């Protein structure tokens, strides 16, 4: 039973890594670094509809890690890449 649990956890971690890479790549490709930002709701766009929730959870984990920063505005929460952690972000993207 614990073997199955470990395997499931590994699969979830691998999926989270794929989502994290895709989200970070998207923000970097569009130049959302530092002062340039986009709406938090835009992050899961590009993923299949049934994976929006997982993409949003991954974005929240990236915010907690400090790779993505939040900017509250009068028109909603905005996000951008943390310009002080670009080296770590590129490392996550390049990691196979």
48-64 pLDDT, tens digit each: 999 999 999 999 999 99
Question: Which pLDDT band, with edges at 50, 70 and 90, does 86 fall under?
Answer: very high
Dist. CA 78–CA 61, nearest whole Å = 16
1-60 pLDDT, tens digit each: 455 555 555 555 655 688 899 999 999 999 999 999 999 999 999 999 999 999 999 999
Residue 93's pLDDT is 86
User: Where do the structural domains in the chain lie, given as residue ranges?
Assistant: 2-94
What is the Cα Rg of the chain in Å? Answer: 14
Cβ atoms of 77 and 70 within 8 Å: the answer is: yes
Q: Is 35 exposed, middle or buried (0-12, 13-18, 19+ CB in 10 A)?
A: exposed
Q: Which two tokens stand for residue 73?
A: 């505005």
Tokens 């929240």 identify what position? 60
Report domain 2-94's class: mainly alpha
């Amino acid at each position: 039973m614990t073997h199955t649990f470990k395997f499931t956890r590994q699969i979830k971690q691998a999926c989270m890594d794929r989502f994290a890479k895709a989200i970070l790549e998207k923000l970097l490709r569009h130049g959302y670094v530092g002062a340039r930002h986009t709406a938090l709701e835009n992050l899961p766009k590009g993923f299949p509809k049934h994976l929006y929730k997982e993409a949003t959870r991954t974005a929240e984990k990236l915010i907690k890690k400090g790779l993505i920063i939040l900017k509250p505005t009068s028109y909603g929460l905005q996000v951008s890449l943390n310009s002080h952690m670009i080296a770590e972000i590129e490392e996550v993207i390049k990691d196979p």
